[in-house]
Chain A
Amino acid sequence: MPLALARPNLRKPFRARVISEWIKPILGIGLTLILGAAPTNSPAKGPTGKPQPELETATLKRDAVAVANALASQYPGDPLVYALLGSAHFNIGQADEALRHLQRCIELNPNQADVYEIQARIAYDKGQIDECVRLFQEALKRGSPNADLLNRLGRAQLDLGKTEEAQATLQQAVQRPDAPGESRFLLGQSYLQAGAFAKARECFQEVIQQIPDHTQAFFGLFTASTRLGLSDDADRYRKEFVRLEGSDRKSLTDSSIQPDSLSGVGFVRETVARTFAGAGQLYRAHGKLEQATEQFHKAALLDGSTPSYRASLESLYLQRKLPLEGIRLFEELTTANPTNYLNHLFLGRLQSKSGMFEPAEKSLLTVQKFVPGLPEGHRALGELYLRANRKLPEALAELSISVELDPSPPHFYLLSIACAKNKDPQGALNAIQQAIKLRPNEASYQKLREQLLQAPKK
């Protein structure tokens, strides 16, 4: 599937997050970026020593609701607490209870667009599609539209047979810069269902240009071509659909027979981890850094593959000026799960920031051993060298790779510094100009550019 094939992108989880980024995943209906590492915790075991997924799941769900309830009793006036409670209840299958808490959240802050969106998704699952459409529209009224929200609204309108309304919504979606191929695919579907086969075909062709292995777009192309009497095209698209569908089916079957999939524990761990992380964010927002750290620690233990939990832990230990405690924690995580590259990455970053050059270098080289093409790994190692003012040519090399892998503004910024330190002012200027081009309003970039321009030329 297209998402699974996408190159791992670590940038998003490192950003400051807004509510929608954690509530939606907490609900278990968001898309999770799985980077391949296994959870670090041990499964619950019964008296015989055999794993007991039922026991573990029950405990986890109970803990998640307890944490959310504790927050609600401590901060009864905070609407986001009720969003978290709603999420926790939804995760244990209590949709009505979830809706009650989400409604309380809205009562406290009627402009919480994200919460309407979540209510809409619950309504959809309950088959209340009319209500779902209404709630999505409320979310749109109160928040800024995004492609995902518009896609979901469009899909619900399609399910109601309101193809014209769906088309209008999805037209809006495809014009957004953040529009994924899914928006155009759904627009194609709306045309298909309206019998506008030529337009549908056009949409699906655009989808496969963007996502060449979009299985369902090939099905749409096959259907539209058939209706248009383009039998050769239809046959070609059908064959490709069959090929891709077979491959998808094999992946689905293979993954569904994995023990973790059969036990369902992996999914529960991930969703409960999101609840803990949400609690961590709320504690942090209320200045309770120790409690926040505890929650993110629990999240990190349950979910070894979501970088943001470890990133939050790192920043909390730094904020609390306890980097050595943080290092100790990540050492424990690394010992418990030595193959999880994220543990090594964050251990290395904290060691780097604590001036522990050799251990940091060792940790970050371990990251590269596990994931050679990880831009964050190269960036962290380059940063270490820059920070220590050692191995500057290696720093330049590492940061050049990070830019090549992920040409983001921070990477250009660091490359600029590395160039400067390696006495390549033109390279430094070029790099910082790239960063500014991508993020014109970033003050630190402008400042570095000015420094570089003012530096005496040799």
Chain B
Amino acid sequence: MRGWWVLLSLGVSLSGLAETAQPLAIQWKDITLETGIQFTHTDGNSGKHYIVETVASGLATFDFDKDGKIDILLLNGAPLPGTEKPGAVSRNALYRNDGGWKFTDVTVSAGLTDSAYHLGVCTADYNNDGHTDIYLSNYGRNILYKNNGNGTFTDVTAVAGVGGWEHVGAGACFFDMDGDGDLDLFAASYVDFNLKNHKTSVMNGFTTYVGPLQYPPTANHLFRNNGNGTFSDVSKESGIAGFLSSGMGVVAADFDNDGDSDLLVANDLRANALWVNDGQGRFKEIGALIGIAYDPFGNAQGNMGVDCADWNNDGWLDFYVTTYQRQLSTLYQNQSGKYFDDVTRATGAGLGSFPHVKWGAGIVDFNNDGHRDLFVACGHLIDTVDQFDSTTSYRAKNILLQNTGHGKFVDVSAQGGDGMQARWSSRGSAFDDLDNDGDVDAVILNSRAAATVLRNDSKSQNSWTQVELRGTGTNRDGIGARVRIVTEAMTWIDEVHSGRSYQSDFGRRLHFGLGTVKKIDRIEVKWVGGGNDVILNPPINQRILITEGGHRVPSADAPLKQPPTAP
């Protein structure tokens, strides 16, 4: 434990927990070289400066083979006109987690060898067959891969009907918009760019990319799951298609605690869109009304990625949006579902972010002290920016902000270990417990470079719990389900998401740092479109698998089952 962190805990606490939790320094170790991961990202650039190069790509961490270890899918771009070279191959890379920080590239055997230009990804078991599927949001046509359950995937896009249009893809997410037990699909689009309307600009003498305002805004797509392996495009009737913008990161979350999943879309240089769900899959855009569309000064920011979690443990989900250079990454604090306050400046949630372009984001408790911290992936999108603007840089260190538990964040990037010292032009970021040791690790996709795997080496004695959900009547992954961890000192909430951060996906297994708490009173699960389950006195420091219906809220005299721990 670092001595100076002790000082931070001497302030007046906002919760009983903070008085006892040990706020420990977060330490990241870059272990990429040990893992066997040799993926190198390409954005397909050839000096022609297509806008699509600037926004590539995201990644996903998920357990594709159900072995209890989180695997990694890294997205890749593809050669754009001008970069065509005979034999040039670029494709995504699926790395199977073999344990012990060793990963094996199984892309070919898995059948994920398409050569599309990949931008965003979300994963979930869309057909409730017990295996996690993959949806890729591309420049070109999107692709849906069905997981066959034997280590292979099949492209079912055409059959499913979720890829029939050309676009510049962005974030995507599976969610059950109508509570019918199967997962629907939201796919954002960036701008109406194609090779024919391509433009460049010159900035301070350097030919470079144009911004999103140079192209017409475009509509996003929403697909209703028909429950038979196919989807129907309901973009128009749902209200989604009527809103043209420049979509980037997306996340589905129940911000108003009304039991259905709403949608937040971060839009680049345009107002963020918050789509409130009526529970039947019809949406109304209320971003400006509720205070999440703009910064507090009323300016539309260059919004990139978005993550969602309850940063201040008040029982309401907040949003953290990453932004362009000379803007602060923005923390929108949920005020009981009625509106959002931009608390960036009051909390320090934008520390260190102003000079950089920011992408991936995570609101995650990295040191298990019970307070969720912030991770921001940085790196400018203009590859020549260093030559004409030394206030920023193409490659930049990522940012780690530690939640003090007292309503503030502290920039601990410099003390965050060697994993925080490297400079890359990062894009997507994902956070999961890759070694099942009870803390959350990180994987960062870096544009035009190798990916980075960061092991969480924080020396924490704090408690934790991880919750994995298994839907039976509702969607099998429990996407959208709300989990409450109730202890004597504190209550935490979280929700299962598919699609978040910058065009990425992670965190299917919910992770809760518990600080010095030694006993959980109960875990409550509220399933989207389903009932509630309650588990009493579950163990701490374990991963808990909760199956829907297995722990129904009991009648007064009914015995409660003990939860199983995951393998």
Contact = CB atoms under 8 A, between A and B. Distances in A.
B294 A219 contact: yes
B211 interface: yes
Contacts of A257: 214
A95 B390 contact: yes
The B interface is mostly helix, strand or loop, or mixed, namely loop
A53 B200 CA distance: 12
A226 B291 contact: yes
A264 B205 contact: yes
A264 B390 contact: no
Contacts of B326: 125
B199 A93 contact: no
Interface in A277-327: none
Given A92-B388, A263-B201, A193 B288 contact: no
A194 to B, nearest CB: 9
Contacts of B211: 256
A126 B389 CA distance: 10
B202 A189 contact: no
B204 A127 contact: no
A227 B345 CA distance: 19
A54 B298 contact: no
A122 B354 CA distance: 12
B297 A127 contact: no
A226 B339 contact: yes
Contacts of A252: 213
A152 to B, nearest CB: 14
A61 B298 contact: no
Contact of B205 (A54, A96, A122, A126): A54
B352 interface: yes
Interface stretch (A72-80, A112-120, A156-164): A156-164
Interface in A233-253: 238, 241-242, 245, 249, 252-253
A61 B291 CA distance: 43
A262 interface: yes
B211 to A, nearest CB: 7
B296 interface: yes
A262 B210 contact: yes
Given A53-B202, A54-B206, A238-B289, A159 B390 contact: no
Contacts of A245: 298, 300
Contact of A216 (B291, B297, B347): B297
A173 interface: no
Taking residues whose C-beta sits less than 8 angstroms from the other chain, chain B's interface range is 35 or more
A96 B390 contact: yes
Contacts of A160: 345
Given A95-B391, A193-B345, A215 B298 contact: yes
Contact of A93 (B291, B353, B387): B387
Nearest to B386: A93
A265 interface: yes
Contacts of B179: none
Nearest to B342: A193
Given A92-B388, A127-B354, A161-B347, A238 B206 contact: no
B296 A93 contact: no
B202 A256 contact: no
Interface in B107-162: none
B328 interface: yes
Given A216-B299, A245-B298, A264 B203 contact: yes
B345 A263 contact: no
A249 B213 CA distance: 9
B391 A125 contact: yes
Contacts of B422: none
B278 to A, nearest CB: 21
A126 B391 contact: yes
A192 interface: yes
B428 interface: no
B237 to A, nearest CB: 25
A257 B201 CA distance: 9
B345 A241 contact: no
B68 interface: no
A158 B345 CA distance: 7
Contact of A242 (B288, B389, B391): B288
A210 interface: no
Interface residues of A, number: 48
B352 A57 contact: no
Nearest to A126: B391
Contacts of A219: 294, 297-298
Nearest to A220: B298
Q: In the complex, which of the residues A56, A218, A219, A253 has the most CB atoms of chain B within 10 Å of its own CB atom? A: A219
B133 to A, nearest CB: 38
A388 interface: no
Contacts of A262: 199-202, 210, 214
A417 interface: no
Nearest to A55: B205
Contacts of B206: 54
A125 B355 contact: yes
Contacts of A265: 202
A371 interface: no
A53 B213 contact: no
Given A256-B213, A263-B202, A264-B205, A94 B298 contact: no
Contacts of A216: 297-299
A126 B355 contact: yes
A219 B271 CA distance: 13
A275 interface: no
A242 B289 CA distance: 11
Contacts of A127: 352-356, 391
B345 A57 contact: no
B396 to A, nearest CB: 11
A57 B384 CA distance: 15
Interface string B334-358: 0000010000011110101111100
A223 interface: yes
B207 interface: yes
Interface in B276-298: 288-289, 291, 294, 296-298
Contacts of A54: 202, 205-207
Contacts of B356: 127
Given A93-B388, A215-B298, A256-B214, A193 B204 contact: no
A92 B389 CA distance: 7
Nearest to A160: B345
B205 A58 contact: yes
Contacts of B205: 53-54, 56-58, 61, 264, 268
A57 to B, nearest CB: 3
Most chain B CB within a 10 A radius of its CB, from A218, A241, A263: A263
Nearest to B356: A127
A129 interface: yes
Contacts of A159: 328, 345, 350, 354
A58 B384 CA distance: 14
Interface string A136-172: 0000000000000000000000111101000000000
Contact of A253 (B213, B345, B387): B213
Contacts of B328: 159
Contact of A122 (B200, B214, B346, B391): B391
A444 to B, nearest CB: 46
A93 B389 contact: yes
B201 A264 contact: yes
24 contacts: A53-B202, A54-B207, A92-B388, A93-B204, A93-B389, A93-B390, A122-B391, A127-B353, A127-B356, A127-B391, A159-B328, A161-B346, A193-B345, A216-B297, A216-B298, A218-B298, A223-B296, A226-B291, A238-B289, A252-B213, A253-B213, A256-B213, A263-B201, A263-B202
What 7 A-B pairs come out closest when comparing CB atoms?
A219-B298, A57-B205, A127-B354, A93-B388, A216-B298, A127-B355, A161-B345
Interface of B: 199-207, 210-211, 213-214, 288-289, 291, 294, 296-300, 326, 328, 339, 345-348, 350, 352-356, 387-391
Given A93-B387, A127-B352, A245-B298, 6 more contacts: A94-B390, A97-B390, A125-B326, A256-B214, A257-B214, A264-B204
